[in-house]
Amino acid sequence: MSNVYPVIQLNAQDDVLIARVNVPKGAVVNEHGLATLQDIPAGHKIAVRAITAHTPVKRYGQIIGFASRDIAPGEHIHLQNLEMGDFFPGLRVWAG
């Protein structure tokens, strides 16, 4: 029997999971044991891996913004840690 998790991942390349329902702090949200660090409202994003400050954040397999600071796995991604920035198609972005 498979587990049903309260999140979805829209693309395998995504840095985020999307909460399908309100998810409480400490809830395990995927098969890898990822737990939320805060309460996450339905429809909001959760970091699936560590994201270094100033690196792109992907949803739908596309860049949706840049981390304004380091983001921990399981952390809520929203206005407090995601910012817009310039991105030039064809330019390779390397995460250190």
Q: In this structure, are residues 53 and 68 in contact, taking their beta carbons and an 8 Å threshold?
A: yes
For the whole model, what pTM was predicted?
A: 0.83
34-93 confidence digits (pLDDT tens)? 999 999 999 999 999 999 999 999 999 999 999 999 999 999 999 899 998 776 666 666
Strand residues in 1-96 grouped as ranges (E): 7-8, 16-19, 45-47, 56-59, 62-67, 76-77, 82-83
pLDDT of 44 reads: 96
CATH of the domain at 2: 2.30.130.110
Nearest to 21 by CA among 48, 37, 43: 43
Phi then psi for 18, rounded to 5 degrees? -110, 125
Phi then psi for 68, rounded to 5 degrees? -85, -10
Position with higher pLDDT, 94 vs 54: 54
Domain that holds residue 81: 1-96
Number of domains in the chain: 1
